[in-house]
Amino acid sequence: MTKTTFDLVVVGGGPGGYVAAIRAAQLGMSVALVERAELGGICLNWGCIPTKALLHSATVLRACREAAHYGVAGAGEARPDLAAMVARSRKVAGRLGQGVAHLMKKNGVTVFAASAKLAGGGRLALDNGSTLSAKHIILATGARARELPALPLGERVWAYRQALVPAEIPKSLLVVGAGAIGAEFASFYRAVGAEVTLIDMTAEILPQEDAEISALARKAFEKQGIRVLTQCAVTSSSLTATGVKVTLDRQGKRSELEVDRVIVAAGIVGNVENLGLEQTRVKVERTHIVTDGLCRTAEPGVYAIGDVAGAPWLAHKASHEAVLCVEAIAGKPAHPIDPLRIPACTYSYPQVASIGMSEARAREHAAKTGGDIRVGKFTFAGNGKAIAMGEDQGLVKTVFDAKSGELLGAHIIHPEASELITGYGVAASLEATEEDLMHTVFAHPTLSETLHESVLSAFGRALHA
């Protein structure tokens, strides 16, 4: 007979939900995980992981085309095999999905393939007719792509799922939304040969990033042949014989654009429907569940983590929330997440990564507190390893409190930015000052030396600038 009473039930098996289940099991709780689709959630199956697999294929393709520059003959005629790229991407996702299933079994987590709805009194009603009971319930139901009325999804208008499994490379493509998801798809499709137009309603692409970094990203995208239109929106669309015709509004000026396909990457909405929240004290604002610093909702015994609990919508934020939420439930010391210590990465070409405040935000903060800031910059053109790799374009930018030496923000644009940003993440978590960072010995030759040089630059001590 299947067990139906647990210490904890987690609803949703993404990077928040399955990590919560594992940590709870490690702490000796009896745990159930309810997942209506695939273990690993959107991130593993239709987001973070398969997109990175496709983007790596694009990196290999780019390297082959540029092989002669590195003294390698015969690779310059490389061309994309889209079917093989997609098949590899799906295989990578499948392998990791099996890995999550193994972790659930290894940790003694009971998995229910179903949808769940709060039924009051610590109970969950599953759509298979079962009822589960638990003292604690964590909602980790994630989010989905925001749909735009002017661009109804279909065979030629894609969200991320369709964009990950194309049958062929479109000759022309419009990407609506120039945040991380849009920038990544624009990079991939341009690399494999599509004529790409990338638009956003804001004044710059990657609007959540430091303005200087966003401007450099735009310049890099345009150099690759991506057409970038900012302060631009789609007001209507219609299907043609072979593609999609859209009407664009750019600061009051209207124009028409016809493309083979459109990708909508205009943000996400939380999966809060059909959870039974209406009969609880749980509050929902702008499709996201309201929680406190320990992931508790206003309903006793009900918690929410990850994308459904609001920004930043990042897998590693969800996993970290999972651990702190479960540890708080278990009575362990737990500390709320500081959003300024959560790194963000965009895996476009080049990559963009950041942590903490932008320069503009830091200046606003300093103005309010009567303080001042110091800004350091170092380009990869001054780094030996970057030059040796042939990847000497990019910038590391650091922002410090001028008086205390606190690292307020760090921003990187470079093909390896996502790997480099963790150095500053560790520094921020340890509350390292500029003095600590300047006294740290960085190995040579490495790209990480740029992190050191940017700190030195902020205090007038750069050695290779």
Provide the token pair at 174: 């419009």
Q: Quote the CA–CA distance of 136 and 144 in Å, as a whole number.
A: 25
β-strands 261-264, 253-259 pairing = unpaired
Long-range (24+ apart) CB contacts under 8 A made by 147-151 are 147/264, 148/176, 148/234, 148/264, 148/266, 150/234, 150/235, 150/236, 150/237, 150/246, 151/176, 151/234, 151/237, 151/246, 151/262, 151/264
Per-residue CA distances from 89 to 158, 185, 194, 272, 352 (Å) = 18, 14, 19, 29, 22
Please answer whether residues 302 and 279 qualify as being in contact, where contact means their C-beta atoms are separated by less than 8 angstroms.
no
β-strands 351-356, 407-414 pairing = antiparallel
Provide the token pair at 125: 């009603």
Q: Please give the positions annotated as active site.
A: 444
First to last CA, the chain: 69
